[in-house]
Structure 1
C-alpha cells in the first residue's frame, strides 16, 4: 500500500502587537481552546499550547500537506477576531507581525511539551526577548536584533 508517512513537529511562537501584556489569566484558557480548535479543524494536531500575557507557544504535529504560513495566518486572524468579539481586552487586540517556527524530532517532544507547559515558571527568570533570541541562536537562524521586536523594551 502506497502512502505518505511523516513526523513533522513545529513549535510556533508569536507575540501580542507591541509585546503588550494583554492576554489575561481570566480568559487565556478560552483562547488556548479556541486556537486548538482552529488547529484541529485544519487537520493538524495540537501537542501543547501555553504562554504569557505578551506571547504564546504552540507545538503542533503537522501533516506535510499543511502550509505553515497559512496555518499561522489563520490562527492569528481568527483568534484576533475571537478576542475582540468577546471583548476580552479593553484595547483592540492584535498579534505582532511575524512568528518563530522551530522544528523538533520525536525524541525531543516530551522536553518541548514540558517547556511550553512551564512558561509561567520559566519567565520568572527570563524575558520573552531573551527567550526568543536564545531560540534563534540555538537554531542558527540569522537575524538582526533591530528587526526582531516592535514596541516595548
Structure 2
C-alpha cells in the first residue's frame, strides 16, 4: 500500500507442552533455522529464533497486514509437523497453548537479539518461569496464574 510505513518488532515466546525437554541439542539449531524460513514464508521478517530444550524465542519484524495470533498458530502447526516428520521429537510432541508477545523499539533490537542469542547461558542462571514472569512485569502485562504456561519442575536448564 502506498505511503504505508512501519517498524514493529515483536519477541514471541512459546513452550513445549508439559515443558518436556524435547528440543534436543543435536537438532535444535537446524530446527530454529527452519523456523526462520517458516516465519519468512508467512510474510514476516525473522531477526532471530533461538531457545532451549523446552521453549523458543522468535524475534520478528511484524508485517502489519498480518496478525500475531495467525503467525503463532501457523508457526506452531508447521513446526510441530516438521519435528514429527523428521522424527526429531516423539509422536506426542506439541506446543503448549498460548504465547507471549512483547514489542520493542528499534533502539532495543540489538539488545533483544543478544539476549535471545544467549539463551543457553541465560538459562544456566534463571528458570523459564523467572524469565517469563520478569517479562510480564517489565511490560506491565496483567495476567492470571491459571492462564500462564505450565511451569513444571522449573529448574534452570
Q: Which range, TM-score by smaller chain?
A: over 0.9
Match of 1:27 in 2: 27
Secondary structure at 1:124 match in 2 = coil
Match of 1:36 in 2: 36
Does 1:112 pair with 2:112? yes
Structure 2: gaps of 5 or more residues = none
Task: Work out the number of aligned pairs and report it.
Answer: 153
Does 1:83 pair with 2:83? yes
- 1:2 deviates by 3.8
Structure 1: gaps of 5 or more residues = none
After superposition, the CA RMSD in angstroms is 1.4
Secondary structure at 1:103 match in 2 = strand
Secondary structure at 1:96 match in 2 = coil
Match of 2:144 in 1: 144
Summarize deviations over 1:76-127 as a string: whole Å, max 9, x none: 0000000011111235210000000000000000000000001011001000
List structure 1 runs of 4+ shifted beyond 6 angstroms. none
CA contact (8 A) 1:17 1:151 kept: no
- 1:149 deviates by 2.4
**Within 1, Cα distance between the matches of 2:109 and 2:69?**
22
Higher RCO structure (Cα 8 Å, ≥6 apart): 1
- 1:145 deviates by 2.2
